[in-house]
Each structure stands twice: as C-alpha cells, then as structure tokens.
Amino acid sequence: MTVNATVDRKPVGGAEELVLDPARSIRVEVTVHNGTDADRKVKTVRLSGTALALTFFAYDTTVPFDVPAKESVTRAFQLDLADLGGQATGLLPTEIEVLDENRDVLGSVETTGDLLGSMWSVYAVFGLGVLLLTIFSWAGALFALARRRLPVNRWQRAMRFLPAGIGTGLVAVISLSVLKLMAPSPAAEIPFIVGSAAAALLLGYLTPHPGDGDAPRPSTPDEERRTDDFTTINYDEAPLTERITRPLPPGGVV
C-alpha cells in the first residue's frame, strides 16, 4: 500500500519542510492506495517525530475506513497541536503513518518537520542534559589526566575518554537540530557521533603514561658543584686505628 498526504493542502514528502505550529491546528489529508488483491482496513493515522531513535512527539487520530483492492481512498481531519510546544522544537524527521486494527503500519510518508516549540520542551531539555553529562565526562577524564590517575594500559586510557567523545557527538547533533540547521537523520547522526568518539579514543590513547612524571629530575650545574664540595668517606675501607711511630731520643730511652 502507498500513502500520499497533504497538510493544509501542501504535499508532504517533498523538499519543503512541514511547519508545525502549536498555536494553530492543521488539516491533514491522506490518500491510501491499495495495490493488493484484498481489501484492507485502516483505523488510525499517526503523525510523529523522532530523533536519535527516540520518539519525541506522536499524535494518533482514529479515522476508520476501508480501502478496497486496487482502489484509493482519501480521508481528511483536523489535528490540534496545542501541546506540541512542550514536546519538541527545531528540525525533526517527521512521519505520517497509516495503521490497521492491529496497529501494524500499512504505509507511511516521511518529511522534515519544522517545529515551532519551546526551548524548554522535552527535546531541548534532553539536549541540555546530554550537554551537562558530556561536560562532567570531559572534566573527569581531564582531571584524572592532570592527577596522573589514568590507567597504565593505553587502551584503557582511550576507553576513559570514549563517553566524553560520544556525548560531544550527541550534543552537536541535537544543537544543530534545535538551531534549525540540520535535521538529525541517521545519515547526519552517524558521522558526528562516530567521528567525535574516534577523536576522543585517539586523544585518550595518546595521553602520556601516568608514571612518566615520576622520573628523577636532572641536576643542575650549581647542584653538581655543591655536591663536589663534600668528600665522601667510606668507613668500611678506612682503618679503625692508626699506628703512630716517632724516632727515639738519643740514648734509646723514651
């Protein structure tokens, strides 16, 4: 089955972004074409938005209708988006799906949604939480590096920096989405997350050995001269007593 949709009479699925404003309702129209030899029953039309494999908003509208074999059926309805402002904001991959009575997906159409939500929405606060965790991860790794408390093994040191790298990639993806610069599609998410994780691993691998700073400091010329002023006496080799001989006076009597 194939699905075509329009929102406020604008086609969904093209290069144009789908603007979703919580301040007004939208008119959704779906056309379902049944290319099979059996009649199909549609029960629900779902509008949803996802990022990082998480669903941040979803609207299910019950619109039951039958689609005969080899035919197309069109249905339209009004959808209120009043609570969208507290759920997400920015650019998000958005999908309109048609579900049957068992809530199995019969067909869908995808687009990029431009959400005019609040900066205190669930999605934005989620990004802020990831940012704070990333800052703590970097602070912990760098503090351990400064205090020479990182593991001796290079790969263990690299793994110590890995969470901070992954967090950096997630922060970049969410920030670009909230700022409406790029939607967090899988093609965009993977390079950012994998690239930042690899950079953090490399940084951790190249960190110095925690024991490198314990080597004795080479002495300066002034210290060497002061050391030479002192004579070292080896008492093991020196005799404990010394015989003193004197010449006898004339007459041989002492």
pLDDT at residue 230, as a whole number: 47
pLDDT at residue 14, as a whole number: 78
Who's near 247: CB < 8 A, 6+ residues apart? none
Domain map of the chain by residue range?
2-115, 122-210
Backbone angles phi, psi at 225, to 5 degrees: -65, -40
pLDDT at residue 243, as a whole number: 57
Domain 2-115 class?
Answer: mainly beta
pLDDT in tens, 203-239: 999 988 877 655 455 555 555 555 555 445 554 555 5
pLDDT at residue 218, as a whole number: 57
The residue written with tokens 């995808």 in the block is: 110
Neighbours of 172 (CB within 10 A): 20
Lowest-pLDDT range of 20-29, 69-78, 183-192: 183-192
Query: What DSSP string describes 172-218?
Result: HHHHHHHTTS----HHHHHHHHHHHHHHHHHHHHTSPPTTGGGSPPP
pLDDT in tens, 146-204: 998 888 888 999 999 999 999 999 999 999 999 999 999 888 889 999 999 999 999 99
- Alpha carbon distance 135, 121 (integer Å): 21
Question: Which uninterrupted H or E stretch holds 57?
Answer: strand 54-67
Q: Is the pLDDT of residue 80 over 60?
A: yes
